[in-house]
Each structure stands twice: as structure tokens, then as C-alpha cells.
Structure 1
Amino acid sequence: MASHRLASSQAVTKSKKITFNHEKLAQQLFYLGLFLYLVALIVPGLPQIIRDSAYLIVTFTAGYHVMIEGFGDTIKQTQIKHRFTPNIHILMTLAAVGAILIGNFSEAALLILIFAAAHFLEEYAEGKSKREITKLMNLNPTEARRCQANGEWQLVPVGQLKIGDHVRVLNGDQIPTDGQISAGQAVINEAAITGESMPKTKTVNDEVFGGTINGNQSFTMVVTKDSQDTVFAKILQLVQQSQSDLSQTATKIKRIEPIYVKIVLALFPIFILLGPLAWGWTWSTSLYRGMVFLIAASPCALAASAVPATLAAISNLAKREVLFKGGSYLTNLNELKAIAFDKTGTLTVGQPAVTDYQFVAATTEQTAAWLTILTNMERQSNHPLATAIVSHFNQQVTTISAEEMTVVNQVGQGLTADYQGQHYQIAKPSMFVTVPRELQQAQQAWSQAGKTVIYFAENSQVVAAVGLMDVPNQQAAAAIGYFQRQGITTTMITGDDLKTGQAIAQQLNIDQVVANVLPADKAAVVSDQQAKYGLVAMVGDGINDAPALVKADIGVAMGDGTDVAMDVADVVLMQNDLSKLSYAHRMSRRLSKIVWQNIVFSMLIVLLLVTLNLIGRMDLTIGVLAHEGSTLLVILNGLRLLLPLRK
């Protein structure tokens, strides 16, 4: 069947025109054969010789591609591997020729028709899965408006763009490559990259991605990456690789198939000889049942057990922004025993946020005034903690102009400002000697919880404390809970101190924390876990995670992370959403279950048909219908993986 072979992408590219013509001719001949078969079957009064001639023509028209692949591929693979390497198609061809030799023209035609139809349907099923994945490729940018030396804009192929080129993007255009906006602003749909349905507003110096769609404004951008290094290009590489990399089960079936076919071919003459000699059949009956044996023992359903199902599962995940580099990684996920997570940007948001704040006892008006001053001072700082404070309190306070309050950023000492005759300071706790007891207690409690604390003082008197930390990702807790319910050990690997790591781990209920880990040592932690547990996955997003991602049996990169992490990982979550990883694990388990259902079912059908043939309860027509029907059931069972999994 079609699933027994996957041509390399390079070979397909080189022979695209030839392949297309061959397939078109095969389909036309199949329909011609189907028409002739129906004519010979339905039209009354036809002389038997005309009817048999029509069936003979049907066999060689509808079976054109079956015979080509049967003999042609067998000869080709035998020459390449320097040993006899038959395929399933040759069994069907021999069975049809044998049926003709003993005068069963109608059954030979029916065998070829049904086998060819199943062949086309299997190719369609695999093609459907691939089309679901490769829809993304239609978004690949091809042209760009580049600024020439004379200041004119010229339409050029994207491949000609170089780093530093200036490119004009008109409203509604596809952004041709990765870069930074140098002039103008835009509202950009980044769904192709991030999966986010809401457009994002971008302005000067903001990063834009190739393959995304510009809104209703035009802008100019500077190219920052070669076309082959863009985020979109890396996604395409993952997609293409996922289609050519078979699962372990599919690979084993592919290796076993020629051996199985050789065994069937070896048993075929023995079967025919044993008929008259051991079981008392006539030579005619023995030859007929030999033809049925070739059909019944053919592993068509077995060959279709894994590939359509694997492609369907990969397709399902791709639509949910989870990209696997190949089916082998998806099947391996089912065997996962432990999973390690980088902390920052993976289990956490990756940016600090205000979690607590407290003022000394004062009137509501005084507290509001202090909060306004604190926020306005932080507005004039670009420190991540300042950004978090402004983001948290911005809607609660009014704006104080820079003329009214001048803020001074003293390196190592924090911020100071004078406003309405008072002096204010924002700094870390160690900068203050005298602190109110209630704020000291708050600071100690928050620090124990792994939070960063800053004080706000008026005239050197501390009047407020603010606690901040990199908070857990919203989806992380649910994902951790899922993996633990599956008996998979969860570990956090962090360069932070143990106290900070444990604070996050307690919120997420992670099994264990490995803290104070230098970037170079993360891979060693993964190696230790492999020795202790078995198959281990590593989830990370940064350059410092790359060695650990490579060392792990399955490396998972967060899509918002670095290019390096995406390059070395086996799986990419295009959104920083760990619930998608738990979905992928569920899909892996479902894939394994369906593939084994298919394998067991296909072998039981073979055993049943061979047994019925031996006891004389099977003819060629029923054998064809049962055998090819089982193949179609196996394919349809695999295609169930295109459907969303139930929660």
C-alpha cells in the first residue's frame, strides 16, 4: 500500500512533473477500468469471450499503477539494497495474474479494482493529514519591496533580502521577513507565528515577524535576519521534518514488510504443492486457493497501521500550535517517565509582577498620595521592577509631570525625588537603617516566599513596602498536575537560590527542585534523571537551556524563547502554554493505543482469512472484500486522530 514507502522531499521535488503525470494517468486508467467492469458485469447478453476480455482489460488498466509499483519498485529496491526486496503490490499482482491463468477473469478484475481503490483512498488519507500540516506553507512570503540606492522601492524575491535592507510593508501586505520597524506603526496579525488571534500594535524599534499580516497602516522596517533564519522559516523546517520522520512503530513495520512478503512468496508454492499431496485437493483447487492465500496473507492492513495515524496525530497537534520534528518524538512521549522544566519563562511568566504591598498606618488620602508618588517615580525608570510597579498601579494614580518632580536614578542606591517640599526614596531594604516593625515583618515573610522587596521612604522614613516576583504561568499548575497523575516525575531546574525555587514549586506542586544550577550544568541534571528514571523530557526557552534540550530524550522549546532553543528542540510549543504539552502527551497515548489496535486487528484478519481458506470456506471475491475492507477500517481508525481529544 501507499504507506509502505515515503519518498525523500528532494526526489519528489526533482520528479514533481513526472510524478504528477504518472498519478494522473493511473487515476484515468482506474476510472476506465471501473467503467469497463460495470459494463461487463451489468450489460446482459454479452458473449462470454467479450465479457472475459473486458475483465482482462480492467485488470491491466485499473491495475496499471499496482503492477508498476509491484514489479518496478521491487526491482529498484533490490538493486539499491543488493538483495531481493519485494513489496505488497507484487503479491496482489501475482494473485491477479494467477487468477487469470486459471480462468477467473472477473475475480482478477475485482481484486485489482478494490486493491487499487484502497490504494488511492490510503494516499488520500495520508495526503489529507499532510495538507492539514502544510497549509502553513502557503503563508510563506515570496516578495518584498526593498529600498534601492536611488531611494526607489523595488519588488524583489524575499531570498534576495540581506540584513540591514530597508523594506516597505503596505497595508494588508504579508511581512516578508523578520526585522524591526524603523518608521511608522502597524497593527499586525501574528496568528501564523504565535497562534494569538488578537492583532498586536507595533511601533518604531518593535520586532516584526515574516509571514505575519500587516493591518491597515504602512510602515518601513529594517531586515534583521536572513530569510532562511526567520522564525517562520524555522517553523516550516519543523513541519517538513515532521512529515518525513516516521514513528518507531512505522519504521519497524516498513523494515519488516519485505521480509514478510518474502515469507509469503516462499510459502506460496509450498501451499500449492501441499494441496494435492497432503489435503487431497485437485491441482485446480490448490492453485485457486493459492491465489486466495496470497491475498489473505498480504499485510496491507498492517502496512497502513501506523503511518496514517501518526500523520493524523501530528496534524492535529500542528493545528494547536504544537510542532513535532517527527513521529518518533511523538511516540516516545508516551513512554515519558520524568520531565524537567526551566523556571523562568517556562513555569513562570518571565517578568516580575507586584504580588503584595503594604503602607504604614495612615489616612486613606495619605496612602493614595504616597502611591501616586511611588508610581510616578517608577515611571521614569526602565528597570523591570519599575515596569511591574507601574503596570500594577497605573490605573489607580494620576500623572505628575517631570517638571513638578525630578527623579534621580542613583546606581546601586535606587531612585530619589523631591516633590512639594518632601524628599522621597525607593530602594532595596539594605539601604535603610530604621524600618517600622510591621513593614519589617512583611519584608521577612515575603522574602521567605522568594519575593523581591523594595521600600518607599518619605524624608528617610520608610512608609511602604512592595513585594514582587516572577509569578507562575497560568497553565503551568494544570500541566504539572496532569503529568503527576500520569505517574511522571516533575522537576524544576533553576539558577535561583533554593528558597526562590521552592516558593514557585510550592505554588505549582512540583515534585522536586534543583536550585543554584549554572547554565552549563543543566545537561548534567538531565543526565542524572535519565539514569534514575528512564526516558526524560526537558522544557526550556533560553540559550542556556540548549545543552539540556539536546541531552534530554525529548527536548521541548517554548515558542516565545530563543532561536537556539527552537533549533535544538524536538518539539516546539508556539505559545508559552504548557497545557498544550499535556495535550500532546494525551495524543501520544491515544496514538499508541490506535496503532496497536490496528496491528492486532490486521494480523487477526490475516489469520482468520488464511484459516478459512485452508478449510475451504473462502473464495477469491470474499477474500478481496474482507482483506481490503480491513485495510480501509485500519486507515479510518487512524484518521480518528484528526479529531480533537475529549477533555
Structure 2
Amino acid sequence: MDGGQKLQWRVEGMDCAACVAKVTKAVERLPGISGVSVNLMAERLTATLAAGTASAEAVERQVAALGYTVSPLSGAAEAGGHHRHGPTCSHDHAGHDHDHAGHGHDHAGHGHDHADHSHDHADHGHDHAGHDHAADARGRAAPAAHGHDHDDPADAARPWYVTGKARLVWLLGGLVVGAYALSLALPHRFTYPLFLAATLVALIPFGRRAFALARAGSPFSIETLMVTAALGAVIIGAAEEAAIVVLLFALGEMLESVAAGRARDGIRALAALIPRVAQRMRPDGTTEQVPAEALSIGDEVLVRPGDRVPCDGVIIGGRSALDESPVTGESIPVTRGPGDPVVAGSINADGAIRLRVTRAASDNTIARIIRMVEEATASRAKTQRFIERFASWWTPGAMVVSLLVILVPPFAFGWDWWTSLYRGLAVLLIACPCALVISVPAAMASGLSAGARRGLLIKGGAALEAIGSATSVAFDKTGTLTEGRPRVTDVLPAPARSAEAVLALAAAVEQGSAHPLARAILAEAEARSISIPAATDQAAIPGRAATGRVDGQRVSIGSPRHAREEGADPALLDAEIERLESEGRTVAVVVVDGIAAGLVALRDEPRGDAAAGVAAISALGVRPVMLTGDNPRTAAAIAATLGLEAKAGLLPADKLREIATLREAGAVIMVGDGINDAPALAAATVGVAMGGGTDVALETADAAVLRDRVGGVADLVALSRATMANVRQNVGLAVGLKGVVLVTTLVGITGLWPAILADTGATVLVTLNALRLLRWRGAAMPQ
């Protein structure tokens, strides 16, 4: 809303998708409120307030009236709802000019060498809190057709068996069991009041909530249905069954709360990876112990052997092996030394190291992962949206059916009114779609959490659902299938030229480039102690070449194809070009004043798990394809080694066309480094970035593989399929159980308490089934 103010609140006490629906519906009814989004996992409410017609106090009163604890989050969002950026951040990742050196490659498809070239994370500073990643701007996670009791915030730190919900269950259980025990020895007229008391004890809080929900716009909540059915049972003299109904309802609420807490614990466990304190260096070389959240960008920190790294930073002293498995899922410790980046939550295995902090505590890798997973749980899958639309019609329809069961059979089938009323009340209890609605978000939340634990970050249920349906996976080559650390293998001069002179000219025009191939040429010149001359008028021809003037000569370095297009026919070097390319090397031609001066051959080795990762993808029935700007011979050599199809010689626009062609056959996953592949990532059904936790890897694509392993893509597909299988099981269980009980109720086999058991029991079963995903360990991949 133009001119509106976007605010956020923390809402404590929500424990299921129905809670989200209740809060959403209630806040949307307020005048001047738009853009309402409620995030269950983050316990966060976001809304845009029109100036002069809405107030934050009105929102807080409305939410508090439902029984939740609400508190404003200061500085969480800004007017207009646009997210903020740091001074050098741009969302136009496609516009980053990393393409300038041609070498016959589509340099827009090449990745940065994350090990050797660390982004200054402090310069990007995305404000996630102000950026709503939810797929639906309205943020609904469930229809407002039903509801559940919610947790008391004070219960968060207590064991489940002493919470308010548990105490209600113990009280009701004691009354019901005591009444049944006494019924064995006492007449019915003495025990009936005990069943009646148990019913009334539960109906007081449930009735109060049903009334509040009806006033807030949710008249068809489960509380309303349950209270109506229980009161009806008491009226017709079935207090024993009414007591069992309210006991089972309370028990189901308690178990659902426990399950929801366990699901949220998966995210809380990530926050626990950050140590509470850090050893900050003083100017005199001594250390002081400070809270980890007090660290600022530029501070120096000592991390001793066995300590967890308290911040994102860069090593400025010492060398050690770091166990990054808590963050990326990579089980093998990696050696880091001066200049290497480290991420918060890693474990320092052996040597003491000193770090310079590059990110504030609120924006380190762990914090960003937590925010992304929380936001992902608010994004709904297509299946979930369909279920919610279906459920919104289910409850009113079922209430009509209940009324018909009460009114029609006495005339049509000769039932007595007591029987028709009793069975109609049972149908009323079956009417709640709680188990059906929670079946999808419970599985999605568990799948997203399980993925995050293994370094697989997925931005929402829609992406998680789409990944498993992919028919093909398109890979960029450099930095994705390969290490992204090419090295110069050969420098072959033309007659009358020396190798050193050719390399010096190539390095001159590559100065200032951050591209891996350019860095490899500069590194080789440094290793040979070659003096690099100055270059002027440096320019890039995206995907083709880099150019400049050196000592008055026009120099370019690019692919053999580009050299021929410029009129510099390297015919004398053709045999060497063919040989080098057939060996999997990338060949660049150095051209001086329109004449081929020599060749520079480079090779970027495939990742250690690339072949196994590609094989795992093929084993899942998904077609792997490599898209590269490299020449066909080099691409074919690497593709043969890895066991996949190759599309070579592609410029950025060509990659987009290839993606479009693949999409004609089905959903496509595009895997890139997350830095230069933004157009192709956006064009695919699902874009997956491999970037070791860098800003762009977390921001650009729909998913990110933090382990920097090709096998992570197979894990994503396997996780998606496991999650969707869990969803299908949950939906079948919820609908099937209710259908069976509906039929048995109508024919008189089952009564009230099996009806409520069909609802609360199914809700608990689908939630527990969803929690099985938290034990998911990934596709069978070599470590």
C-alpha cells in the first residue's frame, strides 16, 4: 500500500496452522490493514497500516483478544514494505560484469572461487526482516474455517507434562477415570455428575475461545464444533460420552503442541550453534570475554582449539582445521589459514586462530539461515493452497450434512429423534478439517528443517514441491561441476614470440578482473616472476574476450572463435588448439594488433564428487545436462568424464533458450554458482545456487547447497520426493480416517468419542508422521 507503514509484531503462543488462520482473519477485518502475513515458525505478524485509518494498538488489541501474547518488533520493516540493502548491494545480479574475459566461455556462467575470493559480506547487508519472502502476499497458512487452542507463552521453557494444556488433560483424565471407577460400585445417578463436571471444566475455556473466534470472524472453528457437540450430548443425557469427547480433544491439543514444539526446535537448534561469549582482542594483545552479540564489524577475535566460532570473519592469524558440519553438513574438517573466510558456528579443531569480524551477529551466516528457513515455512506449496481452498468449503458443507442427518432420517428412515440428533452431533465432530489442513504444512516444515540441517536451504514449500517433479537438471560448468580454481597448464607462443611475452600481455589485460580464469593467468605470471606491463582502455566483450592497449598495441585474449571473428586466424596453432581442447583444457588466444601471438591453456578440475553426484541424479530418473560457454571439444571431454550430456559454446542468451527448451519437457532445475547465473537461475523452474553460504548463494536462487557438493542436488531431489510422499500419506490418512468414521457413524456403529478421535487422532498421527522427516539423512552419496 503506497504511503502505508509496514510493521511487525512477535506473536507468542501459536502452535499450528489454524493459529495462523485465526490471527490472519482477525487482523484482516480491521479497517486500513493490508498485506497481513503471519509466520508460524518465526512467530511473527507483518501488516501494512494505512496512515490515519489504522493503528498498531488496534492490531495488538485484536490479537490479544484471541488469547495470544503480542509485542511490537522495532525496526523490523519500513514504510512501503521494501527491503533495505547495504551501500554496495544490488539485486541485479545479472548485471555484475564478471563476463569480461572471453576465452570461449560464457563468463556469465562462471563462478567465483569461493575459497580464494571471499566477498566482503559486510557490504551486502540485506535486511531480511524487512523482506517478505512468502509466496503469497497475504501470507495465509490455513483457512479461517477452524482453530485450535494455543500454547501459553509461559509454557515455552517448561517440560511438556507441566504445561497448562497438560494440567487440563490430567484434571479431565482424573475426573473421567474416577467417575468410571466409581460407576463400578455406585449407581449411575451418583457418577453422572462427575462426567458432567469433567465436561463443564473443559467447556469453560473452550467455549470462551469459541466465542472470541466467532467475534473475530471465525465462527466455524473446531472449538465451536466441539462445544456444540458436547453441549448437545449433555442435553440428550450422554454426559459420559461428552466427557470422553472433551478429554480426547484436550489430549489431542496437548500432543499437537508437543509436536509443533519439536518442529520449531529444529530451527532453535541452529541458533544454539552460536556460542554465548567470545574472546575479543584488546589493542594491547590481551583478550576480554564479551557476549557474542556484542561483536562489531572490524573487531578481532581469538578462537581457541575446541571453541565454536562466534562470528562470520576472515582469519588474520594462525591456521587450523575447522569442522563446518553444523552449518554446511560437510563432515570432513577443512584447513583454513590467513585470508580464508570462516562462518559462525564452525568448530575450531586444533590450532588457535585470530579472526577479523566481517558481519554483525544479527546478520551472520547462522542468523541468515534461520531467517530464511523461518520465511520459507510461510511460503505455501501448490498442494497446500489447494488443500486450504478445499478445507474452507469442507466445514460449512459438513455442518449442512450434520443438520440433514438430524432432520431427514426421522421422516425418511423412521429414526427416532434421539438417534438422529446423536448421529448428527457425531457428524459435527467429524466436520473439522484440522488433520487435513495441517497435513501439508507439517510435512513441509519438517522437510525444510531437515534440509537446513544438511546444508540444503530451500526458500519455501513451492520450491520444495517443484524440485522433486523436475525431469532435468542443467548445470553450469565452472564453479559448479568444476572446482572453480583453474590453473594455467600451457603457454604456447607463435613463431618469433616467447611464452613469457605472451603471458605478460595476457596478464596485462586481465588485471583487475575477479574471474577465475583471469586470476589463474595472473597467478601463473606471478609464479614465473613475470613483470606485468600496464594496460589502458580495458574493456570486456561479455562471454567472448577481454581487451586493452599495452605499450600502444591493441591486445585481446579470448576464444579461438573470437580470434577468427576478429580476423586473427590462428591457423598455425590449430593443431595445438585441437589437442589441448580434446584433453579437456580451455584454450584462449592472445591477439596483438590483429595477429595471433600465442595460446594460453587452462584446466579446471571437476569436483571430487561431481561424477558420483551426476550418477545419483541419473539414478533418480532425472536427466543431467551441462550448459557451458566453453568450446565443444573441452565440454565433451569433461562431460564424458562426468557422465552427462553437454551443450557447449553458449552465450548467456543461448543458455536461456536451452532452459526454455528443457522446460518444454517438464520442470527444470538450474544449478549455478549463484553469482553470475542469475538469468538462467530465474528462467528455470527452480534455481539452485552452489556457493558455500555467500550472500548471492543465499539470495539469488530458490535453493542453495551450502556443502558445495554436486551430490547436494541429488539430495534436494530426494528430500523433495520424500516430503511429497509424506504429504500424500498425511492427506490419505486424514481423509481416509474421517471417511471411515463418517460411514460407521451414519450406520450406527460408532458414536461421539470415535468421531472426535477421528479428528484429534488424525491430527496427531499426521503431525507425528511429518516429524519422521526430521530424521531424513539424504540420498545415498559417498562422503
Query: Fold-level match, TM-score > 0.5?
Result: yes
Deviations 1:293-323 (A, max 9, x none): 1123433432342233223323332332212
Counterpart of 1:58 (choices 198, 202, 210) is 198
Secondary structure of the residue aligned to 2:409 is helix
Query: Which structure shows the higher helix fraction?
Result: 1
Deviations 1:24-66 (A, max 9, x none): 3232122111111111111343453442222223224456665
**Which letter does structure 2 place at the counterpart of 1:108?**
A
Counterpart of 1:19 (choices 141, 152, 161) is 152
User: Deviation of residue 627 (structure 1)?
Assistant: 5.0
Which residue matches 1:31? Answer: 170
Is residue 2:737 matched to residue 1:605?
A: yes
Which residue matches 1:595? Answer: 727
Is residue 2:530 matched to residue 1:409?
A: yes
Is residue 2:438 matched to residue 1:274?
A: no
Counterpart of 2:382 (choices 236, 248, 253) is 248
**Which letter does structure 2 place at the counterpart of 1:208?**
V
Question: Are 2:423 and 2:751, in contact at CA under 8 Å, matched by a contact in 1?
Answer: yes
Question: Are 1:242 and 1:325, in contact at CA under 8 Å, matched by a contact in 2?
Answer: yes
Report 1:35-46 matches (<5 A). 35-43=174-182, 44-46=184-186
**Which letter does structure 2 place at the counterpart of 1:45?**
A
Which residue matches 2:690? Answer: 558
Work out the CA distance in 2 between the residues paired with 1:470 and 1:64. Answer: 71
Question: Are 1:340 and 1:493, in contact at CA under 8 Å, matched by a contact in 2?
Answer: yes
Deviations 1:316-352 (A, max 9, x none): 3233221222222111212223322111121112223
Report 1:102-113 matches (<5 A). 102-113=236-247
Secondary structure of the residue aligned to 2:316 is strand
**540-549 or 142-151, larger mean C-alpha shift:** 142-151
Percent identity at matched positions? 33
Question: Are 2:328 and 2:454, in contact at CA under 8 Å, matched by a contact in 1?
Answer: no
Which residue matches 1:391? Answer: none
Report 1:161-310 matches (<5 A). 161-215=295-349, 217-310=351-444
CA RMSD of aligned residues (A): 3.9
**Which letter does structure 1 place at the counterpart of 2:345?**
G
Report 1:609-620 matches (<5 A). 609-620=741-752
Q: 1:10 to 1:132 in 2, by over 3 A?
A: closer
**Which letter does structure 2 place at the counterpart of 1:409?**
I
Secondary structure of the residue aligned to 1:205 is coil
Deviations 1:135-188 (A, max 9, x none): 111113554444567877554454554433333444544323222233344443
Q: 1:296 to 1:219 in 2, by over 3 A?
A: closer
Deviations 1:180-231 (A, max 9, x none): 2333444433222333334444333332222223345544322223334432
Is residue 2:453 matched to residue 1:319?
A: yes
Question: Are 1:85 and 1:258, in contact at CA under 8 Å, matched by a contact in 2?
Answer: no
**Which letter does structure 1 place at the counterpart of 2:18?**
H
Which residue matches 1:132? Answer: 266
Is residue 2:464 matched to residue 1:343?
A: no
Question: Are 1:496 and 1:516, in contact at CA under 8 Å, matched by a contact in 2?
Answer: yes
Secondary structure of the residue aligned to 1:490 is strand
Work out the CA distance in 2 between the residues paired with 1:409 and 1:174. Answer: 42
Which residue matches 2:251? Answer: 117
Higher relative contact order (CA 8 A, sep 6+): 2
Work out the CA distance in 2 between the residues paired with 1:87 and 1:186. Answer: 57
Deviations 1:457-489 (A, max 9, x none): xxxxxxxx9986222223333443444455544
Counterpart of 1:4 (choices 11, 18, 33) is 18
Report 1:385-464 matches (<5 A). 408-409=529-530, 411=532, 444-451=578-585
The structure that has the greater radius of gyration is: 1
Question: Are 2:394 and 2:431, in contact at CA under 8 Å, matched by a contact in 1?
Answer: no
Question: Are 1:26 and 1:62, in contact at CA under 8 Å, matched by a contact in 2?
Answer: no
**Which letter does structure 2 place at the counterpart of 1:259?**
W
Is residue 2:614 matched to residue 1:474?
A: no
**Which letter does structure 2 place at the counterpart of 1:55?**
F
**Which letter does structure 2 place at the counterpart of 1:235?**
I
Work out the CA distance in 2 between the residues paired with 1:442 and 1:530. Answer: 35
Q: 1:212 to 1:74 in 2, by over 3 A?
A: farther
Aligned length: 566
**Which letter does structure 1 place at the counterpart of 2:194?**
A
User: Deviation of residue 273 (structure 1)?
Assistant: 1.2
Which residue matches 1:81? Answer: none
Secondary structure of the residue aligned to 1:58 is helix
Work out the CA distance in 2 between the residues paired with 1:453 and 1:270. Answer: 79
Which residue matches 2:636? Answer: 502
User: Deviation of residue 274 (structure 1)?
Assistant: 0.9
Q: 1:22 to 1:471 in 2, by over 3 A?
A: closer
Question: Are 2:586 and 2:630, in contact at CA under 8 Å, matched by a contact in 1?
Answer: no
**Which letter does structure 2 place at the counterpart of 1:26?**
K
Q: 1:526 to 1:351 in 2, by over 3 A?
A: same
TM-score (norm 1): 0.76
Work out the CA distance in 1 between the residues paired with 2:197 and 2:648. Answer: 72
Question: Are 2:458 and 2:464, in contact at CA under 8 Å, matched by a contact in 1?
Answer: yes
Work out the CA distance in 1 between the residues paired with 2:285 and 2:643. Answer: 59
User: Deviation of residue 544 (structure 1)?
Assistant: 0.6
Which residue matches 2:467? Answer: 333
Question: Are 1:107 and 1:620, in contact at CA under 8 Å, matched by a contact in 2?
Answer: yes
Work out the CA distance in 1 between the residues paired with 2:574 and 2:241. Answer: 92
- Unaligned stretches of 5+ in structure 2? 1-14, 21-37, 46-67, 73-149, 157-162, 491-517, 534-559, 561-572, 589-598
